[in-house]
């Protein structure tokens, strides 16, 4: 039996994970769901934002479904998300972005963004001196090789045609230059996929004006973080973007959005990103049939006109999920 660690976290994390759990229970009643604490609630209970027991459960389960955490201004705060990404070696961040709603007056988008998840500016080394602060940005050959190889493998698996390397090698000649060199080297051995590259600033513009020019995008950590939110905006908003953090042994799936304290507790958060993250997780643990069933139910719910509050519709988290479950025959 597959075992899944469930970490709702804070704010709307609780609400949207609750919706995704209802969908998982309906589509895959055989999997075991084990809840644990992370974020503010974990701190209140265990004096840790990521208790060791939670991390151990994540290590021993087949995968994890995570909601969101609210950051703290406490000077001793360390992000539990960055900690689990590092501890579990989740080096690849996978963010598929696809338009589901025809009502959105934006160009159609269907892109897979593969973001390096373990280094770059998220290395979190900042040195303070009398004049200011220097932030260390780490780009290693191994880091570049494994993220490019991951993108190639994923593109093939998903029957995609091209990969675009997004960088700023004209300014960051050594670090982004290394990333671009590795991309070209690895793509030379992948003749079945077309290799493209684009500077990050113009890539941001094309994502908004002409997203159809991208198929799979591979990029460094901060660029990927920003571009995937831009892409989510084109698809309809943050409530639509699922993501997967994937490593050689472990994986964590989550919505790309945060804990949204401004709407927490109101029942209006869009649960789509988290339900689709749960579908990505099912795929990852070998339950592709169930994953497709969930995706079809979500897209069918939108195409039959049931829109969530963030799109100007009337459905809150619960009633939208009711419709998804209905379409699954649950």
Cβ proximity of 217 and 110 under 8 Å: no
CA atoms within 13 A on the CB side of 213: 15
| Nearer to ligand ATP among residue 164 and residue 269 (C-beta) | 269
Least distance to ligand ATP, CB of residue 71, Å: 6
Of 187 and 260, which has the nearer Cβ to ligand ATP?
Answer: 260
Nearest distance, CB of residue 83 and ligand ATP, angstroms: 15
Nearest to 109 by CA among 240, 245, 286: 240
Beta strands in the chain (DSSP E): 3-9, 32-35, 63-68, 92-98, 110-116, 120-128, 133-138, 162-167, 194-199, 216-219, 242-246, 251-255
Nearest partner of 41 among 251, 264, 279, judged by Cα: 264
SS3 12: helix
Options 89, 229, 310, 322, the catalytic residue: 229
The one catalytic residue in 10, 37, 176, 225 is 225
Q: Is 201 a catalytic residue?
A: yes
Q: What whole-number distance in Å separates Cα of residue 129 and Cα of residue 70? A: 29
The DSSP symbol for 144 reads: H
Q: Which of 49, 91, 98, 122 is catalytic?
A: 122
In the complex, minimum distance from the CB of residue 294 to ligand ATP, in angstroms, rounded to a whole number:
17
- For ligand ATP, give the closer residue by CB, 144 or 220: 220
- Residue 261 CA to residue 10 CA, distance in Å, equals 9
62 catalytic per annotation: no
Q: Is residue 176 among the annotated active site residues?
A: no
Bridge partners, 110 (sequence order): 98
What is the closest distance, in whole angstroms, from the C-beta atom of residue 56 to ligand ATP in the complex?
A: 24
Largest CA distance in the chain: 64
Closer to ligand ATP by CB, 175 or 274: give it.
274
Q: Which of 168, 215, 223, 302 is catalytic?
A: 168
Output the smallest distance, CB 131 to ligand ATP, in A. 28
Can 225 be counted among the known catalytic residues?
yes
Catalytic residue check, 196:
no
> Can you give the binding site for ligand ATP, defined by CB under 6 A?
12, 16, 238-239, 257-260, 262-263, 269-270, 273, 310
Cβ proximity to ligand ATP, 12 vs 287, nearer residue: 12
Query: Catalytic residue numbers?
Result: 122, 168, 201, 225, 229
């Amino acid at each position: 039996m597959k075992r899944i660690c469930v970490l709702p976290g804070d704010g709307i994390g609780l609400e949207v994970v609750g919706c995704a759990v209802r969908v998982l229970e309906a589509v895959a009643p055989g999997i075991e769901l084990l809840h644990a604490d992370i974020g503010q609630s974990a701190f209140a209970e265990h004096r840790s934002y990521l208790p060791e027991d939670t991390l151990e459960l994540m290590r021993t389960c087949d995968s994890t479904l995570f909601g969101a955490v609210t950051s703290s201004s406490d000077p001793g705060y360390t992000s539990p998300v960055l900690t689990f990404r590092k501890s579990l070696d989740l080096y690849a961040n996978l963010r598929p972005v696809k338009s589901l709603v025809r009502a959105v007056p934006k160009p159609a988008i269907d892109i897979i963004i593969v973001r390096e998840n373990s280094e770059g500016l998220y290395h979190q080394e900042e040195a303070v001196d009398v004049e200011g602060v220097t932030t260390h940005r780490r780009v290693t050959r191994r880091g570049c090789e494994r993220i490019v190889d991951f993108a190639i493998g994923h593109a093939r698996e998903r029957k995609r045609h091209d990969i675009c390397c997004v960088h700023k090698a004209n300014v960051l000649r050594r670090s982004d230059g290394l990333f671009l060199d590795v991309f070209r080297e690895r793509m030379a051995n992948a003749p079945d996929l077309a290799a493209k590259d684009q500077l990050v600033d113009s890539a941001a513009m094309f994502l908004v004006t002409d997203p159809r020019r991208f198929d799979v995008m591979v990029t460094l950590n901060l660029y990927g973080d920003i571009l995937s939110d831009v892409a989510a905006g084109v698809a309809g908003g943050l409530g639509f973007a699922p993501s997967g953090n994937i490593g050689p042994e472990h994986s964590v799936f989550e919505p790309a959005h945060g804990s949204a304290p401004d709407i927490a507790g109101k029942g209006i958060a869009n649960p789509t990103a988290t339900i689709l993250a749960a579908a990505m997780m099912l795929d990852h643990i070998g339950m592709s049939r169930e994953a497709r069933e969930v995706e079809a139910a979500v897209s069918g719910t939108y195409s039959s006109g049931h829109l969530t509050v963030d799109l100007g519709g009337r459905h809150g988290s619960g009633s939208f999920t009711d419709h998804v479950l209905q379409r699954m025959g649950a």
